[in-house]
Amino acid sequence: MTLETKETLDQETLDGLQKLIRYNIDSSKGFKESAEEIDNASIATMFRELADQRCAIATELQQHVQWNGEEAVDDGSAIAAMHRAWLAVRGKLSGGDAYAILCEAERGEDYIKAAYESVLKSTAGSAMNSTLQHQYAKIKTGHDRVRDLRDSFKS
């Protein structure tokens, strides 16, 4: 049995990384678009920060995939594109209402958090575990920030 290293990841781990790359790209795009739709400057700033963080995470994961001789995905999913379109429509219909946009952002955060939990479970013991745990902590913190902010805007 060969010990897995970050340069010799098994296919299940690589598939999980590719999935997380897509989710982080989707998240980054969603936060960028949400920052444009929302009428609250401080929330827009937070969204841009989270977008930058997710872009950096995707880039880190892409490097690991490439170190293993595979081509890393570099785009998001069609489903997330539809969600972002819905978010844009909802933002326009609500006049940039912070609560409505935060509700959609939090829903997207639920997806990426669940994706990390799934990949962490399926790749337990992987050479990527510490990296994924560190990223998950950032994802969870971002999720909680969005959720708590959403809750503070409830009527």
Report the pLDDT value the prediction gives residue 36, as an integer from 0 to 100: 87
Q: Distance between the two ends of the chain, CA-based, in angstroms? A: 58
- Cα separation of 136 and 103, whole Å? 21
**pLDDT, one tens digit for every residue, the chain (155 residues):** 467 888 999 999 999 999 999 999 999 998 998 898 888 999 999 999 999 999 999 999 999 999 999 999 987 655 555 544 555 555 554 556 888 889 888 988 999 999 999 999 999 889 999 999 999 999 999 999 999 999 998 86
Question: Could you tell me the residue ranges of all domains in the chain?
Answer: 11-152
Report the pLDDT value the prediction gives residue 78, as an integer from 0 to 100: 53
Closest CA to 105 of 89, 87, 117: 87
Closest CA to 16 of 150, 117, 130: 117
Amino acid code (one letter) for 98: A
Which CATH number, 3.40.50.800, 1.20.1260.10, 1.10.260.40, 3.40.640.10, labels domain 11-152?
1.20.1260.10
Report the pLDDT value the prediction gives residue 143, as an integer from 0 to 100: 97
Report the pLDDT value the prediction gives residue 155, as an integer from 0 to 100: 67
